[in-house]
Amino acid sequence: MTLWRITGTLNMLPLLVGAVFVTLALLRFGGVSFFFGVLPVLAVLALASVVVAMAPGLRWRRWRYEIRPEEVDLQRGILWISRTLVPLARIQHVDTRQGPLQRRFGLSTVVFYTAAGPNRIPELSTPIAAETRDRIAELTREQDEL
């Protein structure tokens, strides 16, 4: 969750910078009251508090994955929950990825590809991600042999 909070903060910084510029322009050239001038900054700060403080916990509680002998079951979402069943016979290859922040926290993402595109199992500890990748690859080979 710490990584998701850091990522959320970094994603909100450009919005905050934009809101500061809008606020400065409104206060200097817009002829609006101070309250209406700082409204863009307050709105972005409110959004940032949701993105940084609340969303990672909800995302963590709602994210689920299960590797079954016939399929990989993924469930994700905060308000709209999406559930994806990926048949192992459709998986073409499996990777693990690790960005700089993930490396700092010892996390990796498992990515498996089908003709429809990539699917991800994010923010697993690196040893668990390697085991998950190997398990999916092994089950995929077994599907190919059938």
Q: What is the pLDDT of residue 60?
A: 86
How far apart CA 97 and CA 19 sit, in angstroms, is 34
Rounded to two decimals, the pTM is 0.78
Helices (H), 26-110: 34-49, 55-62, 100-105
Helices (H), 1-146: 2-25, 34-49, 55-62, 100-105, 126-145
Q: What is the pLDDT of residue 1?
A: 84
Q: What is the pLDDT of residue 126?
A: 95
Q: What is the pLDDT of residue 142?
A: 78
How far apart CA 112 and CA 7 sit, in angstroms, is 23
Q: What is the pLDDT of residue 29?
A: 84
Q: What is the pLDDT of residue 145?
A: 64
Q: What is the pLDDT of residue 83?
A: 94
How far apart CA 20 and CA 141 sit, in angstroms, is 54
Show pLDDT as tens, one digit a residue, over the chain (146 residues): 889 899 999 999 999 999 999 999 888 887 888 888 899 999 999 999 999 999 988 888 889 999 999 999 999 988 899 999 999 999 999 999 999 999 999 999 999 999 989 999 999 999 999 999 999 999 988 766 65
E strand or H helix that includes residue 118: strand 117-125
Note the pLDDT tens digit of each residue in 98-126: 999 999 999 999 999 999 899 999 999 99
Who contacts 144 (Cβ-Cβ below 8 Å, separation ≥6)?
89
